[in-house]
Amino acid sequence: MVRVISSQPRKQRKARYNAPHHMRGSLLHAALSKELQGKYKRRSIRVIKGDTVKVLRGDHAGIEGLVDYVITRDARIVVDGVSVKKADGTEVPRPVDPSNVMITDLNLEDKRREQKLSGE
C-alpha cells in the first residue's frame, strides 16, 4: 500500500489515484486461500493473469474464475464470469478490486514467480 500519514479518506484516495507506477503493484495484492497459505507461508501475493480467484464481496460473491487481465492503472482485475448487462443487453466485464477476491490457484508458468514463492 502507498504510505499515507493522514487518516482522511480523501487524502487516502488521492494517494491511491496518484501513486507512482512502481508502487501500484502493492495495490494489486490479494489474499491466498488457507491451503496456499500453508503451502507457501504467505498471506497474500500479487494477482496476475491466469490465477484462479474466488470473489468474496459484492454482487458477484461466490463466483470463481480465471483472471483474464489486470488493469494496473486502476488497480483492478477482470475475472472470467464476472460481468454486467448494459441497457442494450450486451454483457461487459466488471472490474473487481483485488482486495475483494481470494486466490485459490496460482499461475506458476513464470519460473521467477515460482522460485520466489518456494524460496521465501
Report whether 82 contacts 59 (CB < 8 A).
no
Asked whether the CA dihedral 27, 29, 30, 31 is positive or negative, the reply is negative
Longest dimension (CA), the chain: 50
**Cβ–Cβ < 8 Å for 102, 56:** yes
In this prediction, residue 84 has a pLDDT band, given cuts at 50, 70 and 90, of: very high
Residue 86 confidence (pLDDT): 96
What's the average model confidence in pLDDT over 57-73?
95
HSE, CB side, 13 Å, CA atoms: give it for residue 65. 19
CA 73 and chain centroid, separation: 13
**Average pLDDT over the chain, rounded to an integer:** 93
DSSP H or E stretch at residue 44: strand 44-46
Is 60 exceeded by the pLDDT of residue 58? Answer: yes
Which pLDDT belongs to residue 2? 63
Taking only the tens place, the pLDDT of each residue in 21-49 is 898 889 999 999 999 999 999 999 999 99
| pLDDT tens digit sequence for 93-113 | 999 999 999 999 999 999 999
Q: What is the pTM of this model?
A: 0.88
SS3 for 115?
helix
Distance separating alpha carbons of residues 86 and 102, to the nearest angstrom = 27
Q: Given this model, what pLDDT does residue 119 score?
A: 78
